Amino acid sequence: MKNHFLALFIIVALFGFNAKKETRVLTADQIIFKDVNIVDVRSGAITPSHVIVKGREIEQILSLEEEIDFAEARVIEGKGNYLLPGLAEMHAHIPDKPWDDPLVQETLFLYLSNGITTIRGMLGNDVHLPLREKAANQEILSPRIYTSSPSLNGNTVTTPEEARKKVKDYAEAGYDFLKLHPGIRKHVFDTLVIASKEYGISYAGHVSNLVRIRHALENGYQTIDHIDGFVEGLVPEEAGVNPTENGFFGYNFTDLADSNTIPELVALSKKNKVWVVPTQSLFERWFSPIPAEKLVNQEEMQYMSPQTRENWVNSKNNLTKADNFDEVKWKQFNQLRYQLIKALQEDGQGLLLGSDAPQVFNVPGFSIHHEIQGMLAAGLRPLEILQTGTINPALFFDGNFGEIEEGMEADLILLKENPLDDLRHLKAPLGVMARGQWLDEKTIKEKLSEIAKKYE
């Protein structure tokens, strides 16, 4: 028996210990993020790895122990840096101009420059359908695009017959979903709900104050954006308010709102699987105490035209004056929104990251960082916020993105610092990859500089 063990030891010594690991040879059509820290957006775990991209997808994730010949592949040095999935802007706007218009291309680049690799366009136009396809086929540099129909509102759908026709036309045209705006009467909305089921198209957006939040939640909204209708829904029935006098997203009813009603509305959202896109930055920039003159001088405003900046200043000043803006009341109103955001995250269907850009003082791409800070102020944890922009949108769309996993589309952000330590690190990407197309930091800065110079 001893001789058998001795023979085995000699064999292992001669062959096993001297056996070399097989070297993996990379090819010229592969991109490798070498020795990078992967951020797991489900658990928050950080895993040092090599990430190999081929074409549009993440081909392999390899441990650092692997023997690799990097000579032929494109190498992106990742040592000490952090790699996470690209973000989704779930309430975006795209100019209603052809795909090759410079303003369209600038807007799409502004999103990409901030790590946004998926956008949900919330005011569709027929020019957005070919734009969506060109983005999908990578004929243009663009985030992945989902697009709504043109607006359905109190002026465009005044009768049930008109609503049915518009739903049919937009479904057949190929829009991803219907965009609802204020003013739709309840019986028209009910016809819209029935028609949308018949033609297989969902709907999302605002809640008409003639429909009310409970009826909206019970009737299949895909998302309710801006937390629209929720503040009005906190007002007791015995208050006898006129719903059309709600002001800016319920601001006029702030003093009447009963926060004890929040759990009921949140439970309704979960029961009916209605996601919420808060667009909190809209309420902390446009409808807020911050002077327009201060916002218009922020660095990111250099990427907007002088005319746009002037329009934004006038819009903010006109809005706060028209609604008899009061800072004390606004703080109370904003606190209600924070409570709703936190409750919808903890006990509702869930939140989706969206800032409503380009809206007043919300520059495409850059505004997502203001939205993130608003979510932090509402009490969400950094990992939860990352999930609202990654795995939640992927679940919402049933998409093959939102995580760093083999076989998923390669939407990636490379950062110098760990975003879970401070989400402001997202503001300075070392590079962004959109379905395998890599934009390095130098390219991003050069293109941003070109845009800024145009609007000097």
pTM: 0.94
Asked if residue 429 is part of any domain, the answer here is no
Q: Is 423 exposed, middle or buried (0-12, 13-18, 19+ CB in 10 A)?
A: middle
Check which CATH number belongs to the domain holding 331 and give it: 3.20.20.140
Using alpha carbons, select from 389, 354, 341, 430 the residue that is nearest to residue 83: 430
What's the pLDDT at 192?
98
Cis ω for the linkage preceding 358 (within 30 of 0): yes
- Rounded to whole angstroms, the Cα distance separating 267 from 261 reads 10
Q: How long is the chain?
A: 456
**What's the pLDDT score for residue 17?**
47
* Domain total of the chain: 1
Does residue 19 sit within a domain? no
Nearest-5° Cα angle at 290, 288 to 293: 125
- Domain membership flag for residue 69: no
In a domain, 451, yes or no: no
Which three-class secondary structure string do you get for 346-385? HHCCCECCCCCECECCECCCCHHHHHHHHHHHCCCCHHHH
**pLDDT block averages, 10 residues each, the chain of length 456:** 50 48 88 98 98 97 92 94 98 96 97 98 97 97 98 98 98 98 97 98 97 96 98 94 92 96 98 98 96 97 98 95 85 98 97 97 98 98 98 98 98 98 98 98 98 97
pLDDT score, position 2: 47
In a domain, 178, yes or no: yes
On the CB side of 263, CA atoms within 13 Å amount to 1
- In-domain check, residue 347: yes
Residue 417 to residue 250: CA distance in whole angstroms: 39
DSSP letter (8 states) at residue 211:
T
Asked if residue 47 is part of any domain, the answer here is no
Residue 111 is part of which domain span?
Answer: 86-397
pLDDT tens sequence across 298-354 = 999 999 999 999 999 999 999 988 767 899 999 999 999 999 999 999 999 999 999
